[in-house]
């Protein structure tokens, strides 16, 4: 089955990892090879040639040239190209979804969902390509007109993570493309095949139209080359998804050259459950939030803040629900949780469990690695005293901490106490409390939900968060503005020069 999927998407046993508009796929038989393994079995899927410095240079030069052509194509026509790419993704939905599952280990339904997220984003951007609106202003001077317009920015650099190896690229790349930018993509070295499959689809559509190659790709696990990309003056915008510690370095380096960055870093997302809530609904929302993508979404629910009056009962319900989680082959439709990404993630899981025990957390269920081929661990529920320092860190494995609270103000304080600020949710049937949670004194996160979990955001909204999450916004709403430069224009259609602010400057005295 894996073989068929790879074949359908144009992936061979060994693949070039660099694509430039001029050279197309750059074959380099001498390049060191990156191996992509299926986390569910540990088996090799395919190998990828790692991009060299010279190849990177070629990609950037070609990207600059492609930008000059692409920026002059009217935005709705750019949108039409994205429509066709969206169509091609629809045609290959099944194979792409399976590839996401093969390479990341997320269950097939989530693999298919990730591809759906790309399709939704393409549809959104087709419409958005006709709505790159600027405001017009009334000038304080007579016979003057003022307005703002949005122009293409240049090369948008996208650095994506393993957990959403296609969708996060699409959020950035489709917005960038309709805005007239070209895109250079550095995917996670853990999921290069997803990137190659997407690149093949883009190439097909663009080539069939005789359009410039506006989507470029380089696969590397070499930190020096990644840093060169981040430091590259030719890249006015770097969109980074990953950990806060790396994100901080990216932000500093990009800022030091006056570049723009969109940062989507760590989340440490909490759900508040109060006694008024529909507890059945809460359990359902929380379990998907905590174990979806095996706890490896930025939006994964990592903390529960439960009203003390229901905490024991609610924990018991959760333990029952956790017992129902079928762990196993992510391709099997019955499976609810697949493996985590690799042996390093498993080692991290084990070390966190050890620290939790040392710090006095009580493991309610789970807590063990699973001795089978592939990288499997048990989804884990931990009851913690408030002071546990582990709770403050994003763990990126399926470990969910339970804390308790007495007053809503306290619950909100616990929600906001971590340094990260991506997603948050509250289960309640109390309107006043819901509104308080959403108000300016409520959740400090970029996403705040009522009666749904923390993960699974729709593309129509702006996605991102505050504080250590980095402050960036991607996907829908007006996130497109990040990918353009704004120009404010004043036109004088009168016969004399008038200065603003009433300044008089009379040359004739
Ligand atoms: C991520 O984990 O980097 O909201 C993105 C969600 C998905 C995207 C997550 N739509 O869970």
pLDDT digits (tens, 9 = 90+) for 98-119: 999 999 999 999 999 999 999 9
Closest CA to 348 of 295, 420, 290, 423: 295
Paired tokens of 447? 């996403």
Averaged over 244-268, what is the pLDDT?
A: 98
pLDDT the model gives residue 1: 85
Give distance in angstroms: CA of 163 to centre of ligand 1.
8
**Which pLDDT tens digit goes with each residue over 271-301?**
999 999 999 999 999 999 999 999 999 999 9
Domain ranges of the chain: 2-265+470-487, 269-459
Closest CA to 285 of 436, 449, 404: 449
| 51, 145, 473, 500 from 494: Cα distances, Å | 57, 10, 41, 14
Residues 6 or more apart whose CB falls under 8 angstroms from that of 345 comprise: 296, 375, 396, 397
- pTM across the whole model: 0.97
CATH class of the structural domain 2-265+470-487: alpha beta
Q: What is the pLDDT of residue 508?
A: 83
* Protein residue with its CA nearest to atom 3 in ligand 1: 298
Asked whether residue 388 carries a pLDDT value surpassing 90, the answer given is no
Average confidence score pLDDT of the chain: 97
User: What sign does the CA torsion over 321, 323, 324, 329 have?
Assistant: positive
Catalytically annotated residues:
264, 298
Q: Tell me, in angstroms, the distance from the centre of ligand 1 to residue 499's CA.
A: 50
Give the architecture-level CATH label for domain 269-459: 3-Layer(aba) Sandwich (3.40)
Quote the pLDDT of residue 390. Answer: 86
* Nearest ligand 1 atom, CA 161: 3
457, 458, 461, 476, best to mutate for ligand 1 pocket (most atoms within 8 Å of CB) = 457
Close Cβ partners of 103 (under 8 Å, ≥ 6 residues apart): 36, 38, 39, 45, 165, 190, 191, 193, 194
pLDDT mean over 429-454: 98
Instruction: Assign 172 a pLDDT band (cuts: 50, 70, 90).
Output: very high
In three-state form (DSSP H/G/I as H, E/B as E, the rest C), the secondary structure along 115-147 is: HHHHHHHHHHHHHHCCCCCCCEECCCCCCEEEE
Place of tokens 């760590």: 266
Centre of ligand 1 from the C-alpha of residue 53, in Å:
32
Pocket of ligand 1 (CB under 6 A): 117, 163-164, 168, 241, 297-299, 455-457
């Amino acid at each position: 089955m894996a073989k068929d999927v790879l074949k359908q998407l144009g992936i061979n046993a060994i693949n070039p990892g660099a694509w430039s508009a001029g050279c197309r796929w750059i074959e380099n038989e001498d390049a060191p090879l990156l191996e992509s393994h299926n986390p569910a079995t540990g088996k090799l899927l395919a190998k990828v040639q790692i991009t060299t410095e010279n190849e990177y240079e070629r990609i950037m030069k070609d990207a600059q040239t492609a930008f000059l052509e692409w920026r002059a194509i009217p935005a709705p026509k750019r949108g039409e190209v994205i429509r066709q790419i969206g169509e091609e993704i629809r045609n290959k939905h099944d194979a792409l979804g399976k590839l996401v599952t093969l390479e990341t280990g997320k269950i097939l339904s989530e693999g298919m969902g990730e591809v759906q997220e790309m399709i939704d984003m393409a549809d959104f951007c087709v419409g958005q390509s006709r709505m790159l609106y600027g405001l017009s202003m009334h000038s304080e001077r007579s016979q003057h007109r003022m307005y703002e317009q949005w122009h293409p920015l240049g090369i948008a650099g996208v650095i994506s993570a393993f957990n959403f190896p296609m969708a996060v690229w699409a959020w950035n790349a489709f917005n960038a493309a309709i805005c007239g930018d070209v895109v250079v993509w550095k995917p996670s070295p853990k999921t290069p095949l997803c990137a190659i499959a997407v690149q093949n689809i883009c190439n097909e559509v663009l080539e069939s139209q005789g359009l410039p190659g506006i989507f470029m790709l380089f696969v590397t696990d070499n930190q020096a080359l990644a840093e060169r990309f981040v430091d590259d003056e030719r890249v006015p915008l770097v969109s980074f998804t990953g950990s806060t510690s790396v994100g901080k370095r990216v932000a500093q380096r990009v800022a030091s050259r006056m570049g723009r960055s969109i940062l989507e870093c760590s989340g440490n997302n909490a759900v508040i459950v109060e006694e008024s809530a529909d507890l059945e609904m809460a359990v359902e929302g929380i379990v998907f939030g905590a174990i979806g993508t095996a706890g490896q979404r930025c939006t994964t629910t990592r903390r529960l803040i439960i009203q003390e009056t229901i905490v024991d009962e609610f924990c018991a319900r959760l333990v029952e629900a956790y017992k129902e989680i079928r762990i196993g082959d992510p391709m099997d439709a019955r499976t609810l949780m697949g493996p985590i990404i690799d042996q390093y993630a498993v080692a991290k899981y084990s070390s966190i469990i050890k620290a939790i025990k040392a710090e006095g957390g009580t493991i309610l269920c789970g807590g063990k690695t699973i001795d089978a081929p592939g990288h499997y661990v048990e989804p884990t529920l931990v009851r913690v005293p408030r002071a546990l320092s582990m709770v403050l860190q994003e763990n990126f494995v399926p470990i969910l901490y339970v804390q308790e609270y007495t007053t809503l103000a306290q619950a909100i304080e616990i929600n906001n106490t971590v340094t990260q600020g991506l997603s948050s949710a509250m289960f309640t049937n109390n309107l006043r409390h819901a509104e308080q949670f959403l108000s300016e004194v409520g959740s400090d996160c970029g996403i705040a939900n009522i009666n749904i979990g923390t993960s699974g955001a729709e593309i129509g909204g702006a996605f991102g968060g505050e504080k250590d999450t980095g402050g960036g916004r991607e996907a829908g709403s007006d996130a497109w503005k990040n990918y353009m430069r704004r120009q404010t224009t004043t036109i004088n259609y009168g016969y004399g020069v008038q200065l603003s602010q009433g300044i008089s400057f009379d040359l004739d005295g």
